[in-house]
Amino acid sequence: MAAPQAGPRATRGFRDDTTGARTFEASGGDWSDIAEEAARLGEERIVVNMGPQHPSTHGVLRLMLEIDGETVTEARAGIGYLHTGIEKNMEFRTWTQGVTFCTRMDYLAPLFQETAYCLGVEKLLGITDDVPERATVIRVLMMELNRVSSHLVALATGGNELGATTIMILGFTAREEILKIFELITGLRMNHAYVRPGGVAQDIPPGALDTIREALPLIKHYLRQLEDLMLANPIFKGRLVDVGHLSLAACMALGITGPVLRSTGLPYDVRKATPYCGYETYDFDVPTSTDADSFSRVILRIEECYQSMRIVEQCVERLQAMGPGPVMVADKKVAWPAQLAIGSDGMGNSLDHIREIMGTSMEALIHHFKLVTEGFRVPVGQVYQSVEAPRGELLVHLVSDGGTRPYRAHFRDPSFNNLQAVSMMCEGGQVADVVVAVASLDPVLGGVDR
């Protein structure tokens, strides 16, 4: 039986010229027409719903699989079960408040969404060059730590879905070390709203650099254990090698980026292609493979973790060398307070901080109130900004009508494009291989549905 042929819309041909067995061929058209033809010819079809509540769908994803025995003959993805209306809600909040929304899209990579959004706002404001260097280095530091934590979840959940519980335990244990750092610096483990237009919410606390230095060797130790459990495991390799194959041509046609694209041999990385946040000044490599299968994507994610930690080490050295400094633009028409003294109970502002605000001047207090409640105005225009997120190229398109709120905020999440490859990767394979293929894409449905 010939493999399903690619075409404009699920074009398929099934032909066996050697045995003369009865076959039928469908090209183009709608799936319902194909289904009717199959029913008329008496072909038996079994359709299985995988999800929307399935432990291996990386969120609330529905996969509709048509199977013939154990072979998948048709695979379609159904999305929208996690729709939050984040993009629309951002139109009703100030530019700064928008950070608290977009950070919740891809909940495993919040700092990338915050940074992409803020870089776009800063372009519209024309203050890109005014952002303090210390704030930019902190952004890079946090993003690269976030890349490692996101990849660790991909490896951990992928292993668990194949029945390798030890891989999951190791992956999440390693990630916990990074979440502790996030909590130390931002106050939260996820959904930080730490990156703000003009800089970051506050400087890193005393001792944070030492904490990061101590954590990196431990994370590398866990990664080496994961390598031993995954890359040298014949059962693991048997499940992943030559499974979920996706060629370079298919990636280009579907707009797929990230580790999936780099597994085909193309070293495309936004950090190298169109650098932002000073990435051109950091020393790191972009790992690639030519195997284009699920196993190669596991190897690439592990290698990307090591490369990210190289960047983190450089960030720590730079922050140590430059010493304390501003982490927010000097323009008080834009800058939210970036050095808030916390109260003794760990909640709210300290009394000293309140006395300072109240005692400076009435005009300063009024300005602070208007900045927080109304927000700053952004000049009319539109902007496009991209960053290299863990799953691929994350794009943000912002439109301003000159007001204190975005007229439109749209995000091109890499998981949305990557999911389009499900049918191409799964059809013709086994049902069990669907789990592997989806895990190798590492989709996060919070980013898909937005």
| pLDDT tens-digit readout, 214-261 | 999 999 999 999 999 898 888 988 888 988 899 999 999 999 999 999
pTM of the model: 0.85
Average pLDDT over residues 332-342: 68
Identity (one letter) of the amino acid at 314? Q
> Tens digits of per-residue pLDDT, 129-144?
999 999 999 999 999 9
- Min mean pLDDT across 52-66, 102-116, 412-426 is at 52-66
393 vs 152: CA distance, rounded Å:
19
Assign 428 a pLDDT band (cuts: 50, 70, 90): confident
Q: What is the mean pLDDT of the chain?
A: 85
pLDDT at 57 over 70: yes
Q: Does residue 101 or residue 346 have the better pLDDT?
A: 101
- Min mean pLDDT across 69-78, 91-100, 267-276, 397-406 is at 69-78
**The pLDDT value given to residue 374:** 82
- Min mean pLDDT across 44-58, 121-135, 201-215, 420-434 is at 44-58
**The pLDDT value given to residue 67:** 85
Average pLDDT over residues 142-152: 95
Assign 82 a pLDDT band (cuts: 50, 70, 90): confident
Contact between 333 and 95 (Cβ < 8 Å) = no
- Tokens 């969120």 appear where? 59
| Residue 52: burial class (beta carbons within 10 Å; 0-12, 13-18, 19+) | middle
**The pLDDT value given to residue 337:** 64
pLDDT at 5 over 60: no
> Tens digits of per-residue pLDDT, 255-298?
999 999 999 999 999 999 999 999 999 999 999 998 888 999 99
Q: Does residue 224 or residue 18 have the better pLDDT?
A: 224
Cβ-based neighbour number of residue 209 at 10 Å: 16
Check if CATH label 1.10.645.10 holds for domain 104-118+127-331+419-449: yes
pLDDT at 1 over 80: no
pLDDT at 18 over 60: no
**The pLDDT value given to residue 14:** 46
Average pLDDT over residues 356-365: 69
Question: Domain map of the chain by residue range?
Answer: 104-118+127-331+419-449
127: region left, alpha or beta (phi > 0 left; psi from -120 to 50 alpha):
alpha
- Min mean pLDDT across 60-74, 147-161, 177-191, 350-364 is at 350-364
- Min mean pLDDT across 27-31, 332-336, 429-433 is at 27-31
Residue 397 dihedral angles phi and psi, to the nearest 5°? -120, 115
268 vs 251: CA distance, rounded Å:
12
82 vs 58: CA distance, rounded Å:
12
> Tens digits of per-residue pLDDT, 374-406?
888 899 999 999 999 999 999 999 999 998 999
392 vs 178: CA distance, rounded Å:
21
Assign 73 a pLDDT band (cuts: 50, 70, 90): confident
Helix axes 431-441, 294-322, angle to 10 degrees: 20
3-state secondary structure 316-350: HHHHHHHCCCCCECCCCCCCCCCCCCECCCCCCEC
**The pLDDT value given to residue 29:** 58
- Min mean pLDDT across 24-38, 90-104, 159-173, 352-366 is at 24-38
**The pLDDT value given to residue 343:** 54
Assign 7 a pLDDT band (cuts: 50, 70, 90): very low
Q: Mark 143-168 as b/e (b = at least 16 C-beta within 10 Å).
A: bbbbbbbbbbbbbbbbbbbbebeebb
